[in-house]
Amino acid sequence: MNCPIDDRGLIMYWPFDEGAGASALEKVTQVRDEIQYVFNQAEFTEPTDPQWRKGVTGSGLLFDGYSTFISHQASKGKSRQEPMSALSIGVWVAPRSYDWGFEGKLAAIVNSHNMEREQGYLLGMFRHGCWSFQVGLEKGGWKEIWSPDGCELPKNDWSYINAVFDGNQGEIKLYLNGSEIATSAVPRGSRIAQATGTDLLIGKNNHSSMWAGNFNLQMFSGILDELKIYNRVLSAEEVAVSYRHILDSAHGGVKPQVQYDEIKLDRTPLLQDRHRPQYHVSPPAHWMNEPHAPIYFDGQYHLFYQHNPLGPFFYHIHWGHWVSKDLVHWRDLPVALAPEKDQLAPDGIWSGSATYDADGLPVLFFTAGNDSASPNQSVALARSTYSRDGDPDLVQWIKHPEPLIVQEKGRGAFGDFRDPFVWKDDEGWYALVGSGIEGQGGAALAFASKDMLNWTYKGPFYQADIQKFPYLGSIWELPVLLPLGTDKQGENKHLLLVSPVGKGADVEVFYWIGQLDKESLSFIPDQEEPELIDVGDFHFTGPSGMVDPKTGRNIVFTIAQGDRTSELEYQSGWAHNAGLPLSVYLREDGRLGIEPIQELQSLRGAKRISFSDKSLAEANILLREVQGDMLEIQVELKPVSAAQLGIKIRCTPDGEEETLLYYDINVAELLVDRTKTTLHPGEKCRGVQGGKLELLGENLKLHIYLDRSMVEAYANGLKSLTTRVYPSRRDALGLEIWGDGELVVKSMEIWDMQSIW
């Protein structure tokens, strides 16, 4: 679209009106610039173009926050070799996420700069939506002008920004939506020094920081449209006219709005990823760690998760949000909690839990990250706007302005104080906070409140003896307490879950069954040594839990760790997913029972096989026709002479790739052998993992869920083994019963499983 202002001095112009394809036209020189995007060439999914979206006029280009950028070679541009006395940049921006601001660098919108040499220019965004224009002057000096308070660029909304450098008059100015918002002086007669040998980049900082070895930080996340660069000074009137022209010509005089569906993270490019699970809940894209804060309200289950919306790497943590009517089929909702420009949690929204306030409305307790405070972790609260606007999906949350619980010295390991687990009963609210005791090991600290806002420290709820159990580590994260009801002796039992971290810690989900001392708010375990729910070696972590109000069940949620290198996470565009929801209960024999929730049966498609009382050879003949990477398998194996017995999954026809799940009777262990899982040189899944499982003479009963790279095996309702498999071959889809001797397949059923998306 032609602007009504004088286009004299227009040296570069990207209209972004292609709407498709992997290049963008720079209209002045008619040069087509390649758009860098991770899925231009894809190893694990179908190649796709960069993501184009509706712009302020025509289309705009969506930058994913970690891989999308444009490089315009210095030799292609006009008038870029001599120092510039004037420079004007105008662009429409709709940010999706803000960068954290690592090393004080801007997430670049457009730049060709070298700050160390004091050369070039940089227009970009910083923490919490503030933005800046920065230039290097020919006679020395790096000059910066920043947006003032109240002029931040809002997420998921269009803003028109202009940066104007007038060296002759000695001024730099910023404009927002056609109006001047800031001015700064430079010496009269100043010139911008050219950044020699530096290309112009759109969406990526010329000197971005590296993270986790593979990720460039300070990349723009959101939509850009109508980027224009002039080598002359645009007047305030020209800027205002340019802004009004878009409004009047394309939007009826009203500032354009961004539809959320246009800018949200899109899971579509990942649906064909041959390793990404399709019936385990996951973010639309990018990074997650533990799901947490499950709660049921107004006919729907809500589950939140630790999330970096900027890319598939652990960085700037928000609370992602899903909602479901059945704990199986989930819908993606907007980020529920994000770091903001406040004194509560500007540096991260870390794990927590959900409960109800005095009116029965949901509230979220979270770990507030504030690096300017000491300690930098505290317990904070957010309330739903449901009572105000009837928001049925609980999309909007308002944070209480101050922390509720701030750690004091002498209360746990100072500086490690996080992951509040809060519950309510008729007498008030109670909280467990993950921490440790100096020199003594991990601990959960207990707090109580009568009004949900004012909290009293009650002391350690339970702590480990690190001398006896060094694998329990110096710090506990994510404590969870669930009621198990009464045992056969009539004693009321509870389940305590923790996740150890720190030096020497085994990062798994450990648990104790024991009694809650309500008066002292402490826990007395039935036995001092903890147990594992899952023996899959760091694939079942990050516990959270709830009592389901509909059924009374205790339900546990976990993260299923991805077990990949950061390079492969970069290439795939996602990292991690949730495990299947588990029902946990007290068995008749006093042990903890674990089972996948029954609602998962709704995902069953065609029944592929059903038989009973077959020999190993007979069973494997029947299994030859069964192929799949999204299956539910139930099998009972009776040993005759076999001491090791189980099932091979994800097998190639020649056995070159396969994964073996098996039970070793002699050592009473449930194991997975991944020595032949994949031939891909970059994948990490290797070796043999597993742990104790006492079957006490029972047949081996395995309930297995295969979901592309996910494997979850539940054994006799007592233990699970969660692991990951990334076969390199597309024909690694077969199954085979296995034993080191004679066995009988007492029963076997297999179903196809359907995607939840």
What is the share, in percent, of the chain residues with pLDDT greater than 90? 96
323 in a domain, yes or no? no
Could you tell me which residues come within 8 angstroms of residue 621 by beta carbon, excluding any fewer than 6 positions away? none
Alpha-carbon torsion (671, 672, 676, 679), positive or negative: negative
- 603 by DSSP, 3-state: which? helix
92 in a domain, yes or no? yes
Q: Region 351-358: what's the mean pLDDT?
A: 98
Asked if 297 contacts 385 with a C-beta cutoff of 8 angstroms, the reply is no
Per DSSP, what are the bridge partners of residue 131? Answer: 125
pLDDT category at 77 given cuts 50, 70, 90 is very low
pLDDT score of 79: 43
For residue 316, pLDDT over 70 is answered with: yes
pLDDT score of 75: 55
Quote the domain boundaries for residue 127.
10-263
Residue 62 identity (one-letter amino acid): L
Asked if 745 contacts 685 with a C-beta cutoff of 8 angstroms, the reply is no
615 in a domain, yes or no? yes
Predicted confidence (pLDDT) per residue in 460-473, tens digit: 999 989 999 999 99
CATH number at residue 624: 2.60.120.560
Alpha-carbon torsion (47, 50, 52, 58), positive or negative: negative
For residue 80, pLDDT over 60 is answered with: no
742 in a domain, yes or no? yes
CATH number at residue 17: 2.60.120.200
60 in a domain, yes or no? yes
Could you tell me which residues come within 8 angstroms of residue 299 by beta carbon, excluding any fewer than 6 positions away? 325
For residue 315, pLDDT over 90 is answered with: yes
269 in a domain, yes or no? no
- Nearest partner of 112 among 14, 217, 207, judged by Cα: 207
Per DSSP, what are the bridge partners of residue 541? Answer: 559
Alpha-carbon torsion (288, 353, 222, 216), positive or negative: negative
Q: How far apart are the first and last CA of the chain?
A: 38
pLDDT category at 394 given cuts 50, 70, 90 is very high
- Look at strands 604-615 and 743-753 and give their pairing: antiparallel
Backbone torsions φ then ψ of 471, nearest 5 degrees? -70, -10
Distances, alpha carbon 469 to alpha carbons 472, 487, 493, 587, in Å: 6, 27, 23, 26
More confidently predicted of 204 and 73: 204
Q: Where are the alpha helices (DSSP H) in 400-475?
A: none
pLDDT category at 439 given cuts 50, 70, 90 is confident
- Nearest partner of 129 among 346, 321, 344, 336, judged by Cα: 346
- 143 by DSSP, 3-state: which? strand
* Final residue before a domain boundary, out of 211, 230, 263: 263
pLDDT score of 2: 47
pLDDT score of 73: 87
Predicted confidence (pLDDT) per residue in 507-538, tens digit: 999 999 999 999 999 999 999 999 999 999 99
Element (H, E) at 386: helix 386-389
pLDDT category at 141 given cuts 50, 70, 90 is very high
For residue 380, pLDDT over 50 is answered with: yes
pLDDT category at 81 given cuts 50, 70, 90 is low
| Structural domain count of the chain | 2
For residue 240, pLDDT over 90 is answered with: yes
* Final residue before a domain boundary, out of 245, 263, 281: 263
Could you tell me which residues come within 8 angstroms of residue 356 by beta carbon, excluding any fewer than 6 positions away? 295, 362, 363, 424
CB count within 10 Å of CB 81 equals: 11
Q: Region 252-278: what's the mean pLDDT?
A: 96
Predicted confidence (pLDDT) per residue in 624-665, tens digit: 999 999 999 999 999 999 999 999 999 999 999 999 999 999
pLDDT score of 464: 87
Predicted confidence (pLDDT) per residue in 731-753, tens digit: 999 999 999 999 999 999 999 99
What is the share, in percent, of the chain residues with pLDDT greater than 70? 98
* Final residue before a domain boundary, out of 263, 280, 315: 263
Predicted confidence (pLDDT) per residue in 171-214, tens digit: 999 999 999 999 999 999 999 999 988 999 999 999 999 999 99
535: alpha, beta or left? (left if phi > 0; alpha if psi -120 to 50):
alpha
pLDDT score of 78: 45
Q: Calculate ∠ Cα 459-464-465, nearest 5°.
A: 120
- Look at strands 574-575 and 286-297 and give their pairing: parallel
Q: Region 567-591: what's the mean pLDDT?
A: 98
Distances, alpha carbon 699 to alpha carbons 602, 635, 704, 729, 747, in Å: 27, 10, 16, 33, 11
Please, what is the average pLDDT of the chain?
A: 96
181 in a domain, yes or no? yes
pLDDT score of 732: 98
389-402 b/e (C-beta count within 10 Å ≥ 16 → b): eeeeebbebebbee
CA 560/CA 289 separation, integer angstroms: 8
pLDDT score of 74: 65
691 in a domain, yes or no? yes
Q: Which residue has the tokens 């993501």?
A: 51
User: What is the model's pTM?
Assistant: 0.97
